[in-house]
Amino acid sequence: MTENAGVRRGGAPGSRGRTTVADVVVAKIAGMAVRDVPGVYAMGGGFARSMGSMRERMPGAGAGKSVTRGVSVEVGEVQAAIDLEIVVDYGVSITDVAGAVRESVISAVERMAGREVVEVNIMVSDVKLPDEEDEGQEWQRVQ
C-alpha cells in the first residue's frame, strides 16, 4: 500500500479555487429575465433600438447584442448592481411592471450567477402606443 505523504487534502471540492462571473454574463441573465415580464415592450431607448436592429441585420455584427441592449451592470465578487432601460406597453401600470422586472432580474441573477443583487435601477424611456408601428422589436409575444 502506498501513502500520499505531503499531499494536502482539505476542504470540500467546491471550495477549492475561485469562480469569476463576467459582467456580460450577468447582463445577459438580466436581459433574458426582463423579457419574461408582461408589459415590457422592448429594452433600451429609441435610438439604441433602431441602431441595434440595423446592426443585427449585418452578418456577424450584431450576434448576441439585443439581449444586453438597455442593460448595464457592475459585478463584484459577491454582489451585483444592475441598471435597465425599458419601454413599456401603453396602459400597463409602470410601477407594477417595474416591480415585476426587479423581482425577475434579482431572482435570475442570484440563482444563476450566485451574486447578491444590491440594486436594480429602472429607467422607463418610452411607452409603446397601440397605433405606433413596431420599430425593430427584439422579440415577439404570443399573438
pLDDT in tens, 50-78: 444 444 555 555 555 689 999 999 999 99
pLDDT given for residue 54 in this prediction: 47
pLDDT given for residue 108 in this prediction: 98
8 A C-beta contact, residue 84 and residue 30: yes
57 versus 80: which is more confidently predicted?
A: 80
* Whole-number average pLDDT of the chain: 83
Residue that is written with C-alpha cell 436592429 in the block: 53
pLDDT given for residue 49 in this prediction: 46
Spacing of C-alpha 21 from chain mean position: 13
Q: DSSP letter for 91, please.
A: T
Kindly list the distances between the CA atom of residue 131 and the CA atoms of 20, 37, 76, 104, 111, in Å, as whole numbers in the listed order.
45, 22, 43, 29, 38
pLDDT given for residue 12 in this prediction: 79
Nearest-5° Cα angle at 41, 38 to 45: 140
Domain ranges of the chain: 20-128
Which of 16-20, 66-70, 89-93 has the highest mean predicted lDDT (pLDDT)? 89-93
Superfamily covering domain 20-128: Cation efflux protein, cytoplasmic domain (3.30.70.1350)
- 102-140 burial, b for 16+ CB within 10 Å, e for fewer? bebbbebbeebbebebeebebeebbebeeeeeeeeebee
What's the pLDDT band for 17 if we cut at 50, 70, 90?
A: confident
Which three cell numbers mark 98?
417595474
Q: Which residue in 47, 43, 22, 21 sits closest to 32, CA to CA?
A: 43
